[in-house]
């Protein structure tokens, strides 16, 4: 398998000195291209710190991070933002949609920054919204949609430009269980279509439905295992 992510002895220390918080404590981790991974841990365990690191939004205090063969610590800010724009789709718990823009305009926004022309943008945004089942909601504003629908818009925004990696930080944290299942189903579909999907959650029920689980506690990786193939993987198999 082709390695996507290689963290080697990575530490992240906030407020170095007396009140320091070791949010990541000597983390070693490999993730291959095309994996579906859940990173699970309690609140404060270091999940978001890890996601920010993986997504090149933050850099380690010490250790090495290689993303697809590139040493992240050696890249310039411009190179890092290029990687974020072109290779990673981010999904957050709070959706982070722009309130006064409708669904299709929200999805188009990052495409504007990529310099994609109006007509192509509209096409990509429309396709992404269709993919998350919101083809009929293109002109709705966030306030006119449920939480689950808003998160689907946020997923459409993250995938519109076709990034090979999806990073989702507690994407179901604000959602009821039915919407959570829908969001998980969409993420699974992205994985099945060949993307690498890294899902951060504090919810064990969600983690049980993801192929590989990495447990983090106090900034340390406590476990890393594969779930048995389950009914979600098989689609129509009912028995547990
Ligand atoms: N910017 C920051 N400054 C200081 N401490 C932080 C900062 N961000 C996170 N922390 C601390 O680092 C630890 C891990 O936080 P975080 O990665 O947000 O955990 P999680 O996402 O699992 O809830 C926590 O103790 C948190 O209080
Ligand atoms: Mg968090």
On whether residue 197 sits in a domain, the answer given is: yes
Asked if 210 and 38 touch (Cβ cutoff 8 Å), the reply is yes
On whether residue 135 sits in a domain, the answer given is: yes
Is residue 240 pLDDT above 60, yes or no?
no
* Ligand 1 closest atom vs CA 41: 22
Which CATH number does the domain housing residue 101 bear? 3.40.50.300
On whether residue 19 sits in a domain, the answer given is: yes
* Ligand 1 closest atom vs CA 50: 17
On whether residue 239 sits in a domain, the answer given is: no
Q: What is the pLDDT of residue 239?
A: 43
On whether residue 194 sits in a domain, the answer given is: yes
Q: What is the pLDDT of residue 97?
A: 96
Per DSSP, the three-state class of 193 is: coil
Q: How far is the CA of 53 from the centre of ligand 2 (A)?
A: 12
d(CA 152, CA 181): 12
Is residue 233 pLDDT above 60, yes or no?
no
93 within ligand 1 shell (Cβ under 6 A): no
Q: What is the pLDDT of residue 109?
A: 95
Token pair for 201? 């959650």
Q: How far is the CA of 14 from the centre of ligand 1 (A)?
A: 8
Q: How far is the CA of 23 from the centre of ligand 1 (A)?
A: 6
- The rounded mean pLDDT for the chain is 93
d(CA 53, CA 33): 17
Q: What is the pLDDT of residue 113?
A: 85
Number of domains, the chain: 1
pLDDT in tens, 120-166: 999 999 999 999 999 999 999 999 999 999 999 999 999 999 999 99
Our CA dihedral for 106, 84, 59, 42, rounded to 10 degrees, sits at: 50
On whether residue 87 sits in a domain, the answer given is: yes
d(CA 199, CA 51): 9
Q: What percent of the chain has pLDDT over 90?
A: 90
Residues near ion ligand 2 (Cβ under 5 Å) = 47-48
- How much is the pTM? 0.92
Tell me the average pLDDT across 35-39.
Answer: 98
Q: What is the pLDDT of residue 1?
A: 83
19 within ligand 1 shell (Cβ under 6 A): no
Which string of DSSP letters, residue by residue, matches 79-114?
HHHHHHHHHEEEEETT----TTS-HHHHHHHHHHHT
d(CA 184, CA 200): 11
d(CA 198, CA 219): 17
Q: How far is the CA of 5 from the centre of ligand 2 (A)?
A: 20
On whether residue 240 sits in a domain, the answer given is: no
Q: What is the pLDDT of residue 230?
A: 57
On whether residue 215 sits in a domain, the answer given is: yes
pLDDT in tens, 57-108: 999 999 999 999 999 999 999 999 999 988 999 999 999 999 999 999 999 9
- For 202, the domain range is 3-234
């Amino acid at each position: 398998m082709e390695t996507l992510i290689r963290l080697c002895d990575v530490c992240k220390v906030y407020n170095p000195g007396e009140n320091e918080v070791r949010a990541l404590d000597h983390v070693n981790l490999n993730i291959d291209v095309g994996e579906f991974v859940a990173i699970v841990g309690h609140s404060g365990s270091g999940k978001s710190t890890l996601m920010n690191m993986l997504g090149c939004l933050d850099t380690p205090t010490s250790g090495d991070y290689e993303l697809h063969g590139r040493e992240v610590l050696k890249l310039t800010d411009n190179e890092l933002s290029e990687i974020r724009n072109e290779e990673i789709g981010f999904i957050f718990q709070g959706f982070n949609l722009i309130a006064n823009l409708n669904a299709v305009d929200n999805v188009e926004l990052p495409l504007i920054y990529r310099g994609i022309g109006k007509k192509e943008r509209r096409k990509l945004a429309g396709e992404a919204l269709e993919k998350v089942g919101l083809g009929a909601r293109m002109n709705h504003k966030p306030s006119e949609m449920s939480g689950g629908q808003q998160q689907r818009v946020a997923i459409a925004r993250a995938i519109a430009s076709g990034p090979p990696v999806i990073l989702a930080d507690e994407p179901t944290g604000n959602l009821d269980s039915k919407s959570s299942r829908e969001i998980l189903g969409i993420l699974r579909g992205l994985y099945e279509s060949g993307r690498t999907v890294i899902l951060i959650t504090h919810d064990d029920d969600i983690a049980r439905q993801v192929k590989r689980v990495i447990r983090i506690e106090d900034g340390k990786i406590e476990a890393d295992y594969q779930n048995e193939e389950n009914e979600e993987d098989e689609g129509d198999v009912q028995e547990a």
